Amino acid sequence: MALRPRSVVVTLLVVSGVAVAVVAVARYRSTPASRPRDLGSRAKTSTLPRPAPRDDSYVGSQACADCHKQIFHQFSASPMGQSMATVDQAVQIEDYESNVIEPSKKRRYKMTRDGKHATHYEIMLDEDGELLFEHGEVVRFVLGSGRRGRSYLINRDGLLFQSPIGWYSQLGHWDLSPGYAPHNHPRFSRQIDDGCLYCHAGRMNYQGTADNHYAEPVFAEIAIGCERCHGPGERHVQLKSAAALKLAGSDPFSDPIINPKKLDPSKRDSVCFQCHLLGQSLITRYGRGFFDFRPGDDLEDVFVVLSQEIGAESDGTLAPATQIEQMRASRCYQAADGALGCTSCHNAHSTPIVEQRAEYYRLRCLACHETNDCKLDLNERELASANNSCIHCHMPALPVRGIPHTALTDHRILRHGRESDQPSERGSEKRTDVTVFDHADERLPRAEIDRAKGIALMTKAWRRRGDDLAARALSHLLKVWTAPGDDVTERLAEVDDVPFLEELGAGYMLLGNSDLAVECWSRVLKLDPRSETALKGVAKVAEERQDLQAFGEHLEKLVEVNPWSDEVFSLRVKHRFYSKDLPGAAREAERALEINPTLVELRSWLANTYRELGDEERAKQQLEFLKKLGNAPPVNDD
């Protein structure tokens, strides 16, 4: 009901080849439908100003190719240029011969590709190895260049879902995606939204204001493009046309296109940080969404990033920190006074081939260091494993805790033989405090920081069902839109911040105040009628209050929004049951089990219900399935 766990995004980012590590909190994109009314001077002390709309004058990367052909083709072949593709457009790197995995005794997965189409199958077996069911989903999109791996997306009428199977390039095999336990995981129901997509997709086409309902075609530009780093290009293209050149003359200041290397260090780095920095929690600012960053912005213009200490763990794996945070903790970065950034070592338009990698990065190091700075003998440095590579010793690839089959380069740039082999004591501690990245809390409005911390804390509180965390979250959130003595209900009518309202409602619900929870979620539904979070919230409150009419109406809307949720159909079973409509409840249960055949308790209930309805044949079928599944509970004989 609250924010989705950030591990969802990590599953995609790490497997797909973006150099990040484990983080914990989901992100939001929100485009509220209305503005708050002017509440006078009192409101100005407790509300945030709505930012101006962003420039959306995009033209697409193909428009850049006419003048920048060589760079365009280089970039198109780079990992960023191949960050997302349709199955038929993606270069096939997967092994479809060794295409079956068996993560547990009863569960197998099979991946097939037939020309332009790929299908992922979940196969469930009974104790004797006989087929119990086979469920296949057509994969539409490949997420990730394949440099480290790939994830796969299913398109269901504009809703995107992740396949539980990923391809791991470093070992060349299929496996469950990170976060998917062999015996219990979301199967094909993990929904993907802007928070997962904005670092891989160029631009999205939306249905309405929701951040997870997309139009057809889903992507306005499928992969990361030129304008992600250089800004919307329409004016630039117009100025460079023959007719426009006459009008514009040679005035360089009339061209709005951005060259990141000409920006000040903070804005230059922010172009990279928009995707490669996640921190512990990354929250979009009020009125901003994930795709709202524009080159020339500081990161804090769009995001509030909450971070924790970084380092290596005691087991030699990387702690949950991004390579950006590691780089900023390095002696090299801190001594460079802004001169060192991502593009000091990385060419944004291309990646060196494997044979040239050691030499390429060695030359980047020698731009600052002397050849004889290395204390090792040249013969030792040129051994086969090292190949005279600076990064072989100073930036080794370490496995990432929680992400199987994946190693990422350690960007702390440690002195060989010292820190590189030692875990960071700070990184190994269990820390609960967070800091705002780059001391942005010293520059941003206090209300922005309270909003971000409240949303992040509420995510943890909902996941853990923690009253203390919920109370802390509410204390932050209420500071954003209220002042001492304000009537909360009255103030809610003026709020147009959907993520804030969703989390505030979750907090009130956890603390037992369902009245205010409903006030929050009802306000959300006025701004975004398709909010699944708010619809589920008001539906569950209606159930608790035994308001069957409202319960049914909310569930009907939920089915319209997402007809692929077994949770929603399970709730509809309860509604029909409360309404004393057993045949209707059985039909809803069948629909839920069609989506997810592994719902043991629901199947057991359905077996009993069929017996009550006198349908012994169907009751027997359900019991047989349960027995084969290995979870046959006792049947009620009353």
Q: What is the band of 557 on the pLDDT scale with cuts at 50, 70, 90?
A: very high
Task: Tell me the mean pLDDT in the region 354-372.
Answer: 88
Predicted pLDDT of residue 631: 62
Residues 127 and 243 in one domain: yes
- 159 shares a domain with 75: yes
Least confident of 55-69, 276-290, 403-417, 523-537: 403-417
Are 138 and 179 in the same domain? yes
For residue 223, report the phi and psi dihedrals to the nearest 5 degrees: -105, 165
Its domain, for residue 136, covers 56-263
**Tokens at 620, concatenated:** 């027997």
Range of weakest confidence among 105-109, 399-403, 445-449: 399-403
Interval 130-138 mean pLDDT: 96
Q: What is the CATH number of the domain that holds 587?
A: 1.25.40.10
Tell me if residue 102 falls in helix, strand or coil: strand
Considering only CA atoms, which of 18, 77, 13, 144 is closest in space to residue 353?
77
pLDDT category, 427, cuts 50, 70, 90? very low
Q: Could you tell me if 405 and 475 lie in one domain? A: no
Distance, CA of 456 to CA of 258 (rounded, Å): 33
First to last CA, the chain: 37
Q: Do 149 and 232 belong together in one domain?
A: yes
Q: Assign residue 402 a region: left if phi > 0, alpha if psi is -120 to 50, beta otherwise?
A: left
230 in helix, strand or coil? helix
In a domain, 274, yes or no: no
Residue 350 clears pLDDT 90, i.e. is over it = yes
Residue at a domain's end among 364, 395, 430: 430
**Sign of CA pseudo-dihedral 87, 89, 93, 97:** positive
Confidence (pLDDT) at 191: 95
- Confirm if 541 and 551 have CB atoms less than 8 A apart: no
> pLDDT tens across 567-609, in order?
999 999 999 999 999 999 999 999 999 999 999 999 999 999 9
Q: 431 in helix, strand or coil? A: coil
Say if residue 318 is in the same domain as residue 388: yes
Q: Is residue 237 part of a domain?
A: yes
Residue 250: the pLDDT is 54
Residues 550 and 602 in one domain: yes
Query: Comparing 258 with 15, which gets the higher pLDDT?
Result: 258
Q: How confident is the model at residue 291 (pLDDT cuts 50, 70, 90)?
A: very high
Residues 139 and 67 in one domain: yes
Residues 402 and 368 in one domain: yes
pLDDT band at 637 (very low <50, low <70, confident <90, very high): very low
pLDDT in tens, 80-126: 999 999 999 999 999 999 999 999 888 999 999 998 899 999 999 99
The span from the CA of 20 to the CA of 54, in Å, is 27
Q: pLDDT tens digits, residue range 453-512? A: 999 999 999 888 889 999 999 999 999 988 777 888 888 998 999 999 999 999 999 999
608 in a domain, yes or no?
yes
pLDDT tens digits along 72-90: 999 999 999 999 999 999 9
Q: Is the omega angle on the peptide bond into residue 186 within 30 degrees of 0, that is, cis?
A: no
The reported pLDDT for the residue numbered 240 is 84
pLDDT value at residue 618: 98
Using 50, 70 and 90 to split pLDDT, how confident is the model at 11?
very low
**Under 8 Å between Cβ of 298 and 270:** yes
Residue 454, Cβ density class (10 Å: 0-12 exposed, 13-18 middle, ≥19 buried): buried
Looking at residue 175, what is its pLDDT? Answer: 96
Domain ends where: 380, 398, 430? 430
Radius of gyration from C-alpha coordinates of the chain: 27
Asked if 11 contacts 542 with a C-beta cutoff of 8 angstroms, the reply is no
Whether residue 438 lies inside any domain: the answer is no
Q: Are residues 323 and 384 in the same domain?
A: yes
Classify residue 151: in a domain, yes or no.
yes
- In the structure, what pLDDT confidence band is assigned to residue 71 with cuts at 50, 70 and 90? very high
Q: Is residue 118 part of a domain?
A: yes
Q: Are 159 and 388 in contact (CB under 8 A)?
A: no
Position 493, amino acid: A
Is there a single domain that holds both residue 241 and residue 341?
no
Task: Count how many domains the chain has.
Answer: 3
Q: Looking at the structure, do residues 412 and 461 belong to the same domain, yes or no?
A: no
What angle separates helix 498-510 from helix 467-481, to the nearest 10 degrees? 140
User: For the chain, what is the mean pLDDT?
Assistant: 86
Percent of the chain with pLDDT over 90: 65
Question: What pLDDT sits at residue 248?
Answer: 57
Summarize the confidence of residues 339-344 as an average pLDDT: 94
Locus of tokens 């080794």: 396
Note the pLDDT of residue 386: 76
Residue 595 is inside which H or E element, if any? helix 582-595
Out of 430, 460, 478, pick the residue that ends a domain: 430
How far apart, in whole angstroms, are the C-alpha atoms of residue 479 and residue 217? Answer: 41
Say if 437 falls within a structural domain: no
Q: What is the pLDDT of residues 173-210, one digit of tens each?
A: 999 998 898 888 999 999 999 999 999 999 999 987 77
Q: Given pLDDT bands bounded at 50, 70 and 90, which one contains residue 321?
A: low
* In-domain check, residue 323: yes
- Where does the pLDDT of residue 314 fall: very low under 50, low under 70, confident under 90, or very high at 90 and above? low
